[in-house]
Structure 1
C-alpha cells in the first residue's frame, strides 16, 4: 500500500508531500513514536559511499595516494565499498517490493520518527508482528511447494 499525505503549509509556500510505504495494512492507530526508514537518508548514505569509492579511484589513477601501501590497498577498499553498496541496494530493492521488512534497514542514519513531518521524503514503515508472521508463512508455503515439485532426492553413490 502506498499512501500519500498532502500537508498544507503557510499560504505563500508550496504543499509538502509525505509518502509512507506500507506493504500490507495501514499503521496502527497508536503509531506515534514508531521509527520509520527514511529513503532519502538511506540513498544519501549510499551516494556518499559511492563518492568515496570514486575519490579513491581518482587518487589511485592520479598516483596521488600518500604511500605505496595505500595505493596497494586502494583497489581492495574500492571493491569493499562497492560490495557493501550493492548488498544494501539489493536489500533496499527487496524492501521496496515487500519481500523484506523495512525494519531490517533501520539504522541510526535513516531512522526518523513517524510524527516528524514536513519534508517530501519517502518513509518505509516497519512491519507489524502479524505482517512478519504472514510473510514467513508465505515463504514456508513456497519452500514446501518447491520441495514437492522437485520430488525426492536420489541417493548418492
Structure 2
C-alpha cells in the first residue's frame, strides 16, 4: 500500500476507534437512563432505552472486529474509551425523563456525525467493507435520533 494509502488507513482506524468509544460510552449512558428513568412515562422510556442499548451493544463487537480485520488494535480500557469518545459522562441519576431523552438524542446525533465523517475516510482507504457497514450503522443511529426526538413532541 502506498504512503497515502497508509495514511488513509490510519485515519480510518483512528475514527473507527473513536466510533467504538462513542458506542461504548453511549451504551453505558443509555443503560444508566434505562435504570434511572422515573415518572408517568417510565414503562415506555424504560423499554425504549433498553431497546436502543441492545442495538448499540450489538454494534460494539462489529466495530471492534472491523478494526482488527484492518490489522490494527482496538481500544483496550475505560481510559482509552474516555480519551476517544465524543459522548460526555452523565452521573446525575435524578434527571427528568425529557432531559434524558434530549441528551440521548443529542449524543446519537454526535454518532451520526462521526459515521458520516467516516464515509469519505473509508472511500479514501479503499475499504469497501467498512463503507458498506457505515450505511447500516448510520441508518440505525438516525432511527434512534428519530425515535428519541419523536418522544419529545
Same fold (TM over 0.5): no
Larger Rg: 1
TM-score (norm 2): 0.41
TM-score (norm 1): 0.40
Higher helix share: 2
